C-alpha cells in the first residue's frame, strides 16, 4: 500500500537555510513572527519529526523553529575527513540561535538534542528563557571505559563503514517500513513526511538512501563521562523541564543528574517510550506550553 501524503498541517509554514559555524543549516518554522521556541532533534532524527508538536504550539499562538543538526536531514555534512562531536553541535547552536531570534528563546531538545541544549544553556545563558530536555540529560555514563579501548572500537567502526555497502530502499514506502521497525506506532501522515523528506536518491540513482551522514553510524572515540557533564548541569540558570517517557531510556543516575540543576521540575508522559515527540505530541506540546508560560 502506498504511503499516504503528508498532511498540509504537518508541513512547515516556511523553510530556509541559515549559515552557522561554516555550515548551511536547514531550518523549518511554524507560526508567525520570530520563533519563541526552538526545537532540537535527537541522533539520526530530523527537524520535521517535530511537526506535530510544532503545530500544536503554533495553534496555541507560539511561533516555533526546528533545525537539522549538522550531518542530519537537509543540513550540510562536515565533508571528507571530518567528524561529529558535541562541541561542534554546541558551537553550531550558539551561532544559530541569534540568527533565528533577536530575543532569548525557549530551547527544547530531545535525546542528543537535549544534551546539547543543556550544554548551550550552561555556556550561553543569555540565549535562553527556559530549557526543556526530553529524555535528554545525557547518555549512559561510560567514564570507566579505557580510552585506548574506545579508540580501537572507533577505528574499527570507521573501517567497517568504508567496507560496507548499504542496501538502498526501493521507494518511500520501504523507507516508512524501516522507520516503523524502531517506531511501530508511528502515525501514517507523519511517517510519510519523515520517509519522504528524510531520504534522497542514491548516488547511482538506484533507489533511496537516508539523508544523514553515514559517519554517524560509527562509534564516537570519546566516551561520555557523567561527572564531566555534571559541570554543565550545575551552570544552567534557566528554568528547566525534564520530560521522560514512562517506557523510555531511564538512567541509573537520573536523580543525581536532576539534582545538579538549580531550577527543575520533571514530567513523565505515560504509555510511551523514548520517542515522546513522535508518539505523544499533544501531551508533550501541552507540557512545553505549561512550562514556557509558567
Q: Is the pLDDT of residue 294 over 90?
A: no
Region 230-248: mean pLDDT is 97
Going from the C-alpha of 81 to that of each of 73, 158, 285, the distances in angstroms are 20, 11, 39
* pLDDT-derived band at 5, boundaries 50, 70, 90: very low
What pLDDT, on a 0 to 100 scale, did the predictor assign at position 205? 81
Q: Please check whether residue 83 lies inside any domain of the structure.
A: yes
- pLDDT tens per residue, range 114-160: 999 999 999 999 999 999 999 999 999 998 999 999 999 999 999 99
Q: Are β-strands 37-40 and 105-110 bridged in parallel, bridged antiparallel, or unpaired? A: parallel
Q: Is the pLDDT of residue 164 over 90?
A: no
* pLDDT-derived band at 232, boundaries 50, 70, 90: very high
User: Domains in the chain: how many in total?
Assistant: 1
- pLDDT tens per residue, range 56-91: 999 999 999 999 999 999 999 998 899 999 999 999
Q: Please check whether residue 71 lies inside any domain of the structure.
A: yes
Q: Please check whether residue 20 lies inside any domain of the structure.
A: yes
Q: Please check whether residue 186 lies inside any domain of the structure.
A: yes
Owning domain of residue 229: 14-146+167-214+224-292
Query: CATH code at 29?
Result: 3.40.50.1820
Q: Is the pLDDT of residue 8 over 70?
A: no
CB-based burial, 96-120: b 16+ in 10 Å, e otherwise: bbeebbeebbbbbbbbbbbbbbbbb
C-alpha cell recorded at residue 168: 538502498
Q: Please check whether residue 3 lies inside any domain of the structure.
A: no
Q: Please check whether residue 154 lies inside any domain of the structure.
A: no
Q: Is the pLDDT of residue 6 over 60?
A: no
Q: Is the pLDDT of residue 199 over 80?
A: yes
Q: Is 231 exposed, middle or buried (CB count within 10 Å of its CB: 0-12, 13-18, 19+)?
A: exposed
* pLDDT-derived band at 7, boundaries 50, 70, 90: low
* pLDDT-derived band at 163, boundaries 50, 70, 90: confident
- Residue holding cell 537516508? 210
Q: Please check whether residue 189 lies inside any domain of the structure.
A: yes
What pLDDT, on a 0 to 100 scale, did the predictor assign at position 4? 39
Average pLDDT value over all residues in the chain: 94
Q: Is 217 exposed, middle or buried (CB count within 10 Å of its CB: 0-12, 13-18, 19+)?
A: middle
Contact 166, 207 (CB under 8 A): no
Q: Is the pLDDT of residue 2 over 50?
A: no
What pLDDT, on a 0 to 100 scale, did the predictor assign at position 9? 84
% residues pLDDT > 70 (the chain) = 97
- Residue holding cell 536531514? 73
What pLDDT, on a 0 to 100 scale, did the predictor assign at position 287? 98
More confident: 121 or 167: 121
% residues pLDDT > 90 (the chain) = 91
Element holding 264 (H helix, E strand):
strand 264-269
Weakest mean pLDDT among 56-60, 164-168, 270-274: 164-168
What pLDDT, on a 0 to 100 scale, did the predictor assign at position 1? 31
Q: What is the pTM (predicted TM-score) of this model?
A: 0.94
Q: Is the pLDDT of residue 166 over 80?
A: no
What pLDDT, on a 0 to 100 scale, did the predictor assign at position 167? 84
* pLDDT-derived band at 169, boundaries 50, 70, 90: very high
- At residue 100, φ and ψ (nearest 5 deg) are -90, -30
Q: Is the pLDDT of residue 204 over 90?
A: no
What pLDDT, on a 0 to 100 scale, did the predictor assign at position 114? 98
Q: Please check whether residue 151 lies inside any domain of the structure.
A: no
- Residue holding cell 523510555? 248
Amino acid at each position: 500500500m502506498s504511503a499516504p501524503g503528508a498532511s498540509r498541517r504537518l508541513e512547515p509554514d516556511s523553510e530556509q537555510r541559515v549559515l552557522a559555524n561554516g555550515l548551511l543549516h536547514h531550518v523549518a518554522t511554524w507560526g508567525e513572527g520570530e520563533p519563541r521556541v526552538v526545537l532540537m532533534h535527537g541522533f539520526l532524527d530530523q527537524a520535521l519529526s517535530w511537526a506535530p508538536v510544532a503545530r500544536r504550539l503554533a495553534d496555541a499562538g507560539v511561533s516555533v523553529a526546528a533545525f537539522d543538526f549538522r550531518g542530519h536531514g537537509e543540513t550540510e555534512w562536515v565533508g571528507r575527513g571530518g567528524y561529529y562531536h558535541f562541541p561542534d553541535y554546541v558551537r553550531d547552536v550558539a551561532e544559530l540561535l541569534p540568527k533565528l531570534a533577536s530575543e532569548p528563546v525557549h530551547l527544547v531538545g530531545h535525546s542528543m538534542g537535549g544534551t546539547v541544549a543543556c550544554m548551550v544553556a550552561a555556556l550561553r545563558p543569555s540565549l535562553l528563557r527556559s530549557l526543556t530536555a526530553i529524555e535528554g540529560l545525557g547518555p549512559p555514563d561510560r567514564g570507566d571505559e579505557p580510552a585506548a579501548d574506545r579508540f580501537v572500537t572507533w577505528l574499527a567502526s570507521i573501517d567497517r563503514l568504508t567496507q560496507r555497502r548499504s542496501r538502498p530502499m526501493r521507494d518511500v514506502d520501504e523507507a516508512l517500513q524501516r522507520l516503523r521497525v524502531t517506531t511501530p506506532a508511528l502515525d501514517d501522515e507523519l511517517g510519510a513526511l519523515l520517509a519522504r523528506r528524510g531520504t534522497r536518491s542514491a548516488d547511482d540513482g538506484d533507489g533511496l538512501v537516508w539523508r544523514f551522514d553515514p559517519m554517524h553510524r560509527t562509534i564516537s572515540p570519546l566516551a561520555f563521562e557523567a561527572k564531566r557533564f555534571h559541570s554543565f548541569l550545575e551552570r544552567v540558570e534557566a528554568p528547566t523541564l525534564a520530560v521522560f517517557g514512562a517506557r523510555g531510556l531511564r538512567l541509573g543516575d537520573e536523580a543525581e543528574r536532576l539534582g545538579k540543576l538549580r531550577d527543575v521540575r520533571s514530567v513523565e508522559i505515560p504509555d510511551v517510550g523514548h520517542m515522546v515527540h513522535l508518539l505523544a505530541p499533544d501531551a508533550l506540546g501541552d507540557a512545553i506550553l505549561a512550562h514556557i508560560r509558567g
